C-alpha cells in the first residue's frame, strides 16, 4: 500500500496496526480462496483490482467526492434506497460487516448471542478498521430484525450521524404506507444532508442508474443457468458483494464485460468446473466481504454454487424499478413498489420467499439447496425449517447450515457439505 493511503487512513482515524492486520488477513484470504481458483473469467481481473484497492483507491474516490461537496451515506441493508441517495447527488456504500473484529469490546455492548453480522459491524467501528464507515456523512440503520433494531440504539452512541429507518413487518396496506412515509422521511433527511432538492429528472436518472446495475448483475445471474456453469459461485458472489461498494456506472460496465465473456464461454460449451458438477443454490443470510466461508467449502468439495437467494445476491439485485413516472411522487411510488417486493424473513407471512427459492431451483437447475443461517439470526433460522420441509416435500435435497464467521467449524462443515454433495451426484 502506498504511503498516500496510509496518511488517508490516519486522517480517517483508523487504527494503523489493527487496519494493517485486517488488510493482511484479507489479502491472504483473497489469495488463497479467490486467486487459487481455476478457469476464472478474464473480466474478474477488475474485481481482483477492486478487492486489492477496497480500502485504498475506492476510499480515495469517496474522499475526492467529499472534497467536491458530495455526501457519502453508509448502509447495512438492501432496504435503503440507493435511488433516493443518488438523486440527491450523494453516494451510497455498504458498510463493513463480514469479519470478526474487537470481539471482546463488542461483547461489552452486545449480548454474546448476537449474530456475527451485527457484532462485526460494531467490531469494525470499535476496532477503527472500516474506512467506509469513517468516510460516511450519514449512517442509515433500519428496523429489520430485532438484533439490528436494538443494536442501532447502541451504535448511535458510537457513530455521529446515525439515521434509523422504520420498516413494516407485514405486507398490508398499512405496511406499504409505513414504507412510503419512511422513504419520504428519508428523502427529506438526504435532501437536508446534501442541500440538494430531488427532482423528477434526478430521481428518474437515479432509478435508471440503479436499474442498470441491477440489470447487469441479473444478467450475470441468468448466465449461471447454463450447464456447465460458466463462473464459480465465489466469483459471482464477489460481484454481488462489490455491488454495494463500487461506483454504480463502472460496476455496471464491468459486470456487463464479464457477461459478454461468459456468453462466449457458454456458446463454446465452456465451464468453470467439469460437466455434471453438482449444482447448489445457496439461500438465507447475507454473506458480506470477506465472508467467503461457505462458497469456499462448497466449491472445494466438488460442487458449484449457481445462485444466491440472499440480500447479497438475488434478493438485493432483482426487480427493476418502474421509471415511467413523471413526478417525484409517482417515481417514489414506483420505488416503494420495488422495495415492498423484497422477501426478507422479517416479513410475516413470507410465502414469496419460498416461492422464489423454488423458482430459482428450477431456473438455475440446482440439484440441491444449502440454507445458510448465521447463528442467532432468528428470522432466517426460523424460516429455514419450513423452507427445508417444503423443499424436501418436492424432493429437492436441502442442507441447513448454522454458522458464524469463525473458521473453527470449517472442518465439520466440510464433512457435512461433502456428504450432502455426495447425495446429489
When asked if residue 251 is in the footprint of a copy of itself (CB under 8 A), the reply is no
CB of 168 vs a copy of itself, minimal distance in Å = 8
Return the closest-CA partner of residue 206 out of 122, 53, 115, 90.
90
Residue among 185 and 250 whose Cβ is closer to a copy of itself: 185
Bridging pattern class, strands 138-142 and 162-165: parallel
The 3-state secondary structure of the chain reads: CCHHHHHHHHHCCCCHHHHHHHHHHHHHHHHHHHHCCCCCCCCHHHHHHHHHCCCCHHHHHHHHHHHCCCCEEEECCCCCCHHHHHHCCCEEEECCCCCCCCHHHHCCCCCCCCCHHHHHHHHHHHCCCCHHHHHCCEEEEECCCHHHHHHHHHHHHHCCCEEEECCCCCCCHHHHHHHHHHHHHHHHHHHHHHCCCCCHHHHHHHHHHHHHHHHHHHHHHHHCCCCCCCCCHHHHHHHHHHCCCCCHHHHHHHHHHHHHHHHHHHHCCCCCCCCCCCEEEEEECCCCCCCCHHHHHHHCCCCEEEEEECCCCHHHHCCCCCCCCCCHHHHHHHHHHHHHCCCCCCCCCCHHHHHHHHHHHHHCCCCEEEEEEECCCHHHHHHHHHHHHHHHHCCCCEEEEEECCCCCCHHHHHHHHHHHHHHHC
Count of residues that interact with a copy of itself, criterion CB under 8 A: 44
**Considering all CA atoms of the chain, what is the largest pairwise distance in Å, rounded to the nearest integer?**
58
When asked if residue 270 is in the footprint of a copy of itself (CB under 8 A), the reply is no
When asked if residue 341 is in the footprint of a copy of itself (CB under 8 A), the reply is no
Residue among 16 and 386 whose Cβ is closer to a copy of itself: 386
In the list 7, 177, 324, 415, the residue contacting a copy of itself (rule: CB under 8 A) is 177
Four-residue CA torsion sign, 110, 135, 161, 337: negative
CB of 285 vs a copy of itself, minimal distance in Å = 13
Residue among 156 and 270 whose Cβ is closer to a copy of itself: 156
Ranges within 94-153 binding a copy of itself (CB under 8 A): 108-111, 113-114, 143, 145-147, 149-153
Contact stretch for a copy of itself (CB under 8 A) within 160-168, 227-235, 245-253, 304-312: 160-168
CB of 145 vs a copy of itself, minimal distance in Å = 6
In the list 39, 52, 227, 375, the residue contacting a copy of itself (rule: CB under 8 A) is 375
Four-residue CA torsion sign, 398, 287, 361, 359: positive
Whether 245 and 385 have beta carbons less than 8 Å apart is answered as no
Residue among 273 and 347 whose Cβ is closer to a copy of itself: 347
CB of 297 vs a copy of itself, minimal distance in Å = 21
Residue among 188 and 385 whose Cβ is closer to a copy of itself: 385
CB of 277 vs a copy of itself, minimal distance in Å = 31
Residue among 12 and 189 whose Cβ is closer to a copy of itself: 189
Ranges within 376-405 binding a copy of itself (CB under 8 A): 376, 378-379, 381-386, 402
In the list 10, 45, 166, 422, the residue contacting a copy of itself (rule: CB under 8 A) is 166
Cell of residue 322, nine digits: 418502474
Residue among 266 and 346 whose Cβ is closer to a copy of itself: 346
CB of 386 vs a copy of itself, minimal distance in Å = 7
Residue among 126 and 259 whose Cβ is closer to a copy of itself: 126
Contact stretch for a copy of itself (CB under 8 A) within 4-12, 222-230, 325-333, 346-354: 346-354
163 — phi, psi (to 5°)? -115, 130
Residue among 114 and 211 whose Cβ is closer to a copy of itself: 114
When asked if residue 16 is in the footprint of a copy of itself (CB under 8 A), the reply is no
When asked if residue 340 is in the footprint of a copy of itself (CB under 8 A), the reply is no
When asked if residue 38 is in the footprint of a copy of itself (CB under 8 A), the reply is no
Give the distance, in angstroms, between the CA of residue 417 and the centroid of all CA atoms in the same chain.
23
When asked if residue 321 is in the footprint of a copy of itself (CB under 8 A), the reply is no
Residue among 29 and 145 whose Cβ is closer to a copy of itself: 145
CB of 153 vs a copy of itself, minimal distance in Å = 6
Chain contacts with a copy of itself (rule: CB under 8 A): 108-111, 113-114, 143, 145-147, 149-154, 164, 166-167, 169-170, 172, 174-175, 177-178, 181-182, 345-346, 348-350, 375-376, 378-379, 381-386, 402
Amino acid at each position: 500500500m502506498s504511503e498516500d493511503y496510509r496518511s488517508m487512513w490516519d486522517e480517517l482515524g483508523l487504527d494503523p496496526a489493527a487496519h494493517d492486520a485486517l488488510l493482511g488477513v484479507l489479502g491472504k484470504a483473497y489469495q488463497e480462496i479467490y486467486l487459487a481458483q481455476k478457469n476464472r473469467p478474464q473480466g474478474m481481473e477488475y474485481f481482483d483490482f477492486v478487492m486489492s484497492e477496497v480500502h485504498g483507491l475506492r476510499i480515495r474516490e469517496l474522499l475526492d467526492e467529499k472534497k467536491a461537496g458530495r455526501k457519502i451515506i453508509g448502509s447495512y441493508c438492501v432496504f435503503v434506497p440507493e435511488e433516493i441517495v443518488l438523486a440527491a447527488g450523494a453516494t451510497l456504500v455498504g458498510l463493513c460487516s463480514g469479519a470478526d473484529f474487537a470481539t471482546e469490546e463488542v461483547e461489552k455492548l452486545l449480548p454474546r448471542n448476537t449474530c456475527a453480522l451485527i457484532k462485526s459491524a460494531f467490531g469494525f467501528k470499535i476496532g477503527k478498521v472500516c474506512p467506509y464507515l469513517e468516510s460516511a456523512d450519514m449512517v442509515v440503520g433500519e428496523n429489520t430484525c430485532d438484533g439490528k433494531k436494538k443494536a442501532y440504539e447502541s451504535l448511535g452512541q458510537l457513530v455521529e450521524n446515525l439515521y434509523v429507518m422504520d420498516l413494516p413487518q407485514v405486507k398490508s396496506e398499512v405496511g406499504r404506507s409505513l414504507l412510503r412515509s419512511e422513504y419520504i422521511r428519508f428523502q427529506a433527511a438526504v435532501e437536508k444532508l446534501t442541500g440538494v432538492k430531488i427532482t423528477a429528472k434526478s430521481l428518474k436518472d437515479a432509478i435508471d442508474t440503479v436499474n442498470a446495475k441491477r440489470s447487469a448483475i441479473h444478467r450475470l445471474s441468468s448466465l449461471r443457468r447454463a450447464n456447465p456453469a460458466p463462473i464459480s459461485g465465489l466469483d459471482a458472489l464477489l460481484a454481488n458483494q462489490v455491488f454495494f461498494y463500487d461506483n454504480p456506472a463502472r460496476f455496471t460496465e464491468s459486470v456487463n464485460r464479464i457477461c459478454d465473456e461468459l456468453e462466449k464461454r457458454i456458446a463454446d460449451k465452456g465451464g468453470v468446473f467439469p460437466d455434471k458438477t453438482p449444482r447448489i443454490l445457496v439461500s438465507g443470510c447475507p454473506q458480506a466481504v470477506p465472508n467467503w466461508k461457505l462458497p469456499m467449502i462448497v466449491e472445494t468439495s466438488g460442487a458449484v454454487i449457481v445462485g444466491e437467494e440472499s440480500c447479497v445476491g438475488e434478493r438485493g439485485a432483482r426487480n427493476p424499478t418502474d421509471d415511467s413516472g413523471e413526478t417525484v411522487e409517482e417515481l417514489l411510488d414506483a420505488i416503494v413498489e420495488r422495495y415492498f417486493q423484497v422477501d426478507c424473513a422479517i416479513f410475516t407471512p413470507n410465502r414469496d420467499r419460498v416461492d422464489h427459492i423454488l423458482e430459482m431451483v428450477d431456473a438455475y437447475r440446482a440439484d440441491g439447496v444449502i440454507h445458510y443461517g448465521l447463528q442467532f439470526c432468528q428470522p432466517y433460522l426460523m424460516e429455514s425449517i419450513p423452507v427445508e420441509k417444503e423443499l424436501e416435500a418436492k424432493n429437492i435435497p436441502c442442507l441447513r447450515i448454522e454458522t458464524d464467521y469463525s473458521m473453527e467449524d470449517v472442518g465439520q462443515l466440510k464433512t457435512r457439505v461433502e456428504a450432502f454433495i455426495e447425495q446429489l451426484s
